[in-house]
Amino acid sequence: MKKLFTTFSIVITTFWSAQIQKVEPEFWWSGMKDSSLQLLFYGKNISDYNPEFSDGIEVKEVIKVENPNYLFVTLDTRNLPPETLKINFRKNGKTVQKLKYELKQRRNGSAERKGFNSSDVIYLTMSDRFANGNSDNDSTSDTTEKANRKLSGGRHGGDIEGMIQHLDYIKELGATALWNTPLTLDNEKDYSYHGYAAADLYKIDPRFGTNEDFKRLSAELHKRDMKLIMDFVPNHWGLHHWMIQDLPSQDWIHQWKDGEKGFKRSNYRQTTQFDTNASEADRLGNENGWFDTTMPDMNDSNPLVENYLVQNAIWWTEYADLDGIRVDTFPYNNKDAVARWTKRVMNEYPNFNIVGESLMHNTAHISFWQKDSKVADIIGYNSHLPAVMDFPLHDIMATAINESTEQWDQGIVRIYDVLTNDFLYPDINNVLILMGNHDVNRINEIFKGDIKKYQLAMTLIATLRGIPQIYYGDEIGMRGDKSLGDGDIRRDFPGGWKGDTQNAFTENGRTELQKQYFDFTKKLLNWRKTKTAVHNGKTTHYAPENNVYVYFRHNDSESVMVIINNSDKDQQFPLERFRENLDGFTSGKDVISGKTISLKETLSVPAKTSMILDLH
């Protein structure tokens, strides 16, 4: 019991047998905009107790649920200073237990924190596969699955310390924000490395480190003027989550009469959330079905579940000083409940940013999920979600670049066509663009290691509207085939483990080909840091001809011309067509080659090559 309670900022004095095993959140802060704080108390028959609080503390509500081991108590913290609250639990007129609960002082400016935005480049790491900075925590006595680097789907030992040790590498590359796959405890028997089946939402998995380590990661990023984005999973928890093992109530999760132990797999039809022709059976099949056998589907329309998830997100934001949240499988939640969740978190932090994963393949479908979407307004819905992911652009990027011969609907025109739908987004600069992530085939696998094709894709990612996100290892040409299993697209970064034969984190440790990948990426991303026209300027593009795509990013102070020659032939073309954007400019400095290019009559671009011209 001592080990359990030393992790909480509470002190428990027991007069009879100990009953209270958990208090969540374990502490809170004074001065929050939402002054209602709902405390969860857990212990054997805890509902038999009556809580009494310090004088001046208003108890707004006490909720007892089906399971007598839970008690939910809502306090009004309005105008309370940072202090330690006293709580007495009484039974039959006698005090059975005494608790002290801490309200902490908030950081200065916490409510006004600024989230990630289109001036950033996000670097995504698969937490278990990036770097092992502390081999002593690879396996722990209090977690089920032990490290086995030989298993593609096993724990390999990547951790928070490994990320901290390589933040300078990420900064050198030019990325300004770090998003890591979930770090909270996942205690499933196998495949626990991915972290998407949480066993405790308030605890960092000890195989990744500690809560303090996560806070230290945030602090180290901020020292480097970089940002931290937490991966948050409201739709499903793990089968071995401590609350799933002892449900507060049967409606805490979605259960199906015809499924084993309440299980029924989701039909994954996210379109049913807005399809006006969808059957109710299909809608519920998406919304209430389990994401997988080990991932019970949370009933976030239950007010207690919703409130628990809201407070958890706010707790981590305050505790770890987060700069943003990425929400997993956003459209699988009850859409009204997840909209309330998003709105409540954003109300607490108006300048924050949250990006929702909506792995859908049509621009109208993606735009539905962005805040103030006119598409969603047709059915009277607003998600309140600031940022969405541009999967339609991702879906066709590799296909387009692999097509060296232009047809009416093939080649680089595919990119152009996707961007013609930009009018559907209410906030085009708050759209996350990507070449790949931990769920899809590696871009360099699709390109079969062709660096010229990677460079074309990287040019697009670095210069198009929105927030670029790159996947760890792509910048050194890492490959991985999803048909061989998720483990293959989540390979260990070379040099992240002691004894690795190669260390690609260092310049001397990279092969010549890896240097070409890295140096190209580094040049583009570091140049991008200073380009406000790329961050939030207007896009003017010209329909591709001969598989060459030309577009401009421009604002009142600067203009950038981007040329993508996706053809397998050198191209020379007249510039007269682009005079509405070139008026007043006589030359441009090519970001990639460093050469000054004349803009008089024609422009020559080699096959499968891009140019980015800072116009003068």
Three-state DSSP string of 161-225: HHHHHCHHHHHHHCCCEEEECCCEECCCCCCHHHCCCCCEEEEECCCCCCHHHHHHHHHHHHHCC
> What's the rounded Cα separation, in Å, for the pair 268 and 202?
28
Overall residue count recorded for the chain in this entry: 616
558 given a catalytic annotation: no
Beta-carbon neighbour count of residue 530 at 10 Å? 10
* Alpha-carbon radius of gyration of the chain: 26
Strand 431-434 and strand 354-356: pairing?
unpaired
Q: Can you count the helices (H) and strands (E) in the chain?
A: 18, 27
Give the Cα separation of 396 and 475 in Å (integer): 20
**Who contacts 69 (Cβ-Cβ below 8 Å, separation ≥6)?**
42, 43, 44, 45, 46, 47, 246
**Separation of alpha carbons 319 and 4, rounded Å:** 19
The dihedral through the CA atoms of 368, 374, 380, 385 has a sign that is: positive
Upstream peptide bond of 574 is cis (omega within 30 degrees of 0) = no
Give the pair of three-digit tokens for residue 169: 């590498």
Closest among 566, 609, 551, 605 to 403, alpha carbons compared: 566
Q: For this structure, is 112 an active site residue?
A: no
Beta bridge partners of residue 99, listed in sequence order: 12, 87
d(CA 554, CA 380): 35
Q: How far apart are CA 282 and CA 469, in angstroms?
A: 33
Active-site hit among 138, 328, 474, 492: 328
Q: In the chain, what is the greatest distance between 2 CA atoms, to the nearest angstrom?
A: 93
Choose, from 161, 306, 357, 390, the residue flagged as catalytic: 357
> Catalytic amino acids?
328, 357
